[in-house]
Amino acid sequence: MQSWRSGQGTGPGAATPQHRSAQHSYPQNWTPHLDKHDFYFNFRNSEKAKDRRNTFLCFQVEGASTSSKRVCSNQVGGLHVELSFLSWFENKLLSHAQQQQYQVTWYLSWSPCDSCAKQVANFLATNRNVRLTIFIARLYYFKRPQNQVGLRRLVSQGVRMNAMSLQEFSQCWEAFVDNHGSVFEPWENLDENYRCQADKLDEILRGSRSLLREETFCLHFNNQRRLPKPHPHRRWYLCYQLVLPNGVLLDKGCLQNKKKRHPEIRLIFRILSMELDQAQRYRLSCYLSWSPCLQCTQELGKFANKHKNLDLHIYTARLYCHWLRYFQKGLYLLWKYKVPMTVMGLQEFDDCWKIFVDQEKPFPAWPKLQQCSDKTQNRLNRILQGSCIPGHTPTHPSLPFLALPAWSLNDLKDALSDLSLSQ
């Protein structure tokens, strides 16, 4: 599969013949019907879609005074079909009847890329009189986080989205293909491929990514001071979910150390790759098996400071090397950048279990879970407490009247140097 979805928009082309009752023109790359050989080649839902470099969009628009049906395809260096449709729809329909209710149905050979999904979602947010249903033959680069976010953006704006089954392929064949009266003949493995595409789409829309096994969670998130031996070395795990203010889930997943990268760093790169809208607010909740090290707190602090539209909250099962001043400094830096960090209690463990674990039973709380959590929270409070630096009496955002830690002047200079605040 090649990335063919690049190029500058060229806008609508010349008019084509009018269709049914709609009194408007269509761009040059739009046709009343799709050749049946093109349909079989471009809409085939095989997992390996070699040389399918074009996107075909078969659409139907139903309104009180209009009914339109057409097939369009993207052109090399031209506008993507989704944006070509929006341009035509705004200029030819909405400009004349803005208050009319429209039902739009799309049959797409490829799902929208992240850029098109974002623009379609913005269009729907502005035009509440338009309802859109999308049927997809194949998912476009579905492993890319930004494309997954794009599909979830569409659903958050009320789009009904499904993979094309035999029924939708037959409907598309009857309505949009120049079939000369012939009946649609399913290709081999159509149903199997449909289930594969539907499962992938369902996983994306649910935000499911690499759920933890029950035993993995109970081992690595266990907050007891000492675990029964023998047990394997406990690694860093980070479970996260990204949601909009209205509660719509955009992404979630579980990360661990990989190639000498801590999961906090991997998460930062993943969020940046999504290219989130800077004008939109988001909430990012992170559940960690260990609190971040100093280097990770520095990166999280700079990340949170740069992305003010992102409400970051950290929950941790345990404090990493909390008896060392070096790692205590990291906890202070999170506090300084107003990134809330809370020790996980029974409620947080239960939430994490339900969201991030491939579970078949309720959360099996281990002995003294809440007691261990309370002790860890008290330890965190003591780390952040202390005598105030002369002239400063700020309080911790989640702990009333909690004073700034009694860091030495050298400690503060080192912290400021680490964060490169002078740059």
Catalytic residue list? 82
Q: What is the DSSP string of 293-347?
A: -HHHHHHHHHHHHH-TTEEEEEEESS-TTTTSHHHHHHHHHHHHTT--EEE--HH
* 237-243 sheet: strands from edge to edge: 249-256, 237-243, 282-288, 310-316, 341-343
Cα 324 to Cα 290, 319, 333, 373, 403, distances in angstroms: 15, 11, 15, 20, 20
Following DSSP, what letter does each residue of 74-94 receive, concatenated? --TTS--HHHHHHHHHIIIII
Number of H helices, E strands in the chain: 13, 13
> 250 near 244, Cβ under 8 Å?
yes
**Could you tell me if 45 and 164 are in contact, meaning their C-beta atoms sit under 8 angstroms apart?**
yes
- Can you say whether residue 59 is alpha, beta or left, with left for phi > 0 and alpha for psi between -120 and 50 degrees? beta
Contact 153, 121 (CB under 8 A): yes
Angular region, 23: left φ>0, alpha ψ -120 to 50, beta rest: beta
The count of other CB atoms within 10 Å of the CB of residue 287 is: 25
Q: Coil, helix or strand for 256?
A: strand
Gap between the Cα atoms of 248 and 66, Å rounded: 33
User: Distances in Å between the alpha carbon of 11 and those of 32, 87, 108, 171?
Assistant: 19, 8, 20, 29
Q: Which two tokens stand for residue 85?
A: 């449709």
The residues, ordered by sequence, that sit 6+ positions from 111 with a Cβ below 8 Å of its Cβ are 134, 136, 138, 139, 140, 142, 147, 151, 201
Closest C-alpha to 65, from 36, 40, 118, 102: 102
Q: Which among 107, 101, 89, 98 has a CA at the least distance from the CA of 22?
A: 89
What residue type is assigned to position 414 of the chain? D
CA-based angle 244:145:75, to the nearest 5? 110
Secondary structure letter of residue 226 according to DSSP: S
Q: Which residue in the block uniquely carries the two structure tokens 């801590």?
A: 262
